[in-house]
């Protein structure tokens, strides 16, 4: 896997290029802004881009999806719920549910995790989970109202129930801690994983006066 730090003005996103060693087929998560970095990484790894994994449809996560799909003639995967709620479309777009599929020898397991958006989805490949704006090392993604906060609570509970402590977490953004921290450590440190009910979670997540509302 290749971690690509993408910068646009004051924004920093992390893209992830995952390569199957046996076939050199690759997928990328939430590509944005600096297409030359992706081209160079593919060239250096002698890999072929065959698909784009989108966690949700916010502009900073889909920025390069259409240009890359056109350039490399590859598929774009997004949850059917996110497609319906966002209106995102592209000729190469494939609507997905939680049914896994394979690229080369890599199995891709989608995990539907709504809350930040109605169709947010995480992708698990081996012991790596790509979380977009659902789960960060330091917090969780913004919720816009009580119903979406309740959905986020249940999505985080879903991840907590199924992830192994050694699963590495690769979010779309970092707020001080590097991508790739193991879930067992995040579970100890992340307060958003320790609320006992959706109502207390929502009250805290939507509280006023947050300096970084998209994080805490």
CATH number of 2-95+102-205: 3.60.15.10
pLDDT at 209: 74
Confidence at residue 216, expressed as pLDDT on a 0 to 100 scale:
37
pLDDT at 215: 45
Q: Do residues 98 and 111 lie in contact, with contact meaning Cβ atoms separated by under 8 Å? A: yes
Give me the pLDDT at residue 174, please.
87
Query: Which tokens go with 188?
Result: 């100890």
Nearest to 4 by CA among 68, 84, 92: 68
Give residue limits of the domains in the chain: 2-95+102-205
pLDDT (0 to 100) of residue 1: 93
Please identify every stretch of the chain with a pLDDT value under 70, giving residue numbers as ranges. Answer: 211-216
The pLDDT score that the predictor gives to residue 89 is 95
Identify the pLDDT of residue 130.
98
What's the confidence (pLDDT) of residue 211? 54
At residue 105, the pLDDT reads 94
């Amino acid at each position: 896997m290749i971690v690509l730090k993408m910068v646009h003005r004051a924004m920093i996103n992390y893209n992830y290029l995952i390569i199957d060693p046996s076939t050199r087929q690759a997928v990328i998560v939430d590509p944005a802004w600096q297409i030359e970095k992706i081209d160079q990484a593919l060239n250096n790894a002698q890999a072929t881009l065959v698909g784009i994994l989108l966690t949700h449809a916010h502009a900073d996560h889909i920025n390069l999806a259409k240009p890359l799909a056109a350039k490399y003639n590859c598929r774009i995967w997004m949850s059917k719920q996110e497609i319906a709620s966002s209106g995102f479309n592209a000729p190469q777009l494939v609507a997905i549910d939680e049914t896994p599929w394979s690229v080369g020898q890599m199995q891709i397991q989608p995990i539907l995790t709504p809350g930040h958006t109605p169709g947010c989805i995480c992708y698990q490949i081996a012991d790596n989970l790509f979380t977009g704006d659902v789960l960060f090392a330091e917090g969780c993604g913004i919720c816009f109202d009580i119903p979406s906060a309740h959905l986020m609570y249940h999505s985080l509970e879903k991840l907590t129930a199924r992830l192994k402590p050694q699963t590495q977490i690769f979010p779309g953004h970092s707020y001080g801690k590097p991508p790739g921290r193991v879930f067992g450590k995040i579970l100890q440190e992340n307060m958003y994983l320790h609320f006992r009910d959706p109502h207390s979670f929502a009250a805290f997540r939507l509280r006023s006066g947050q300096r970084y509302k998209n994080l805490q």
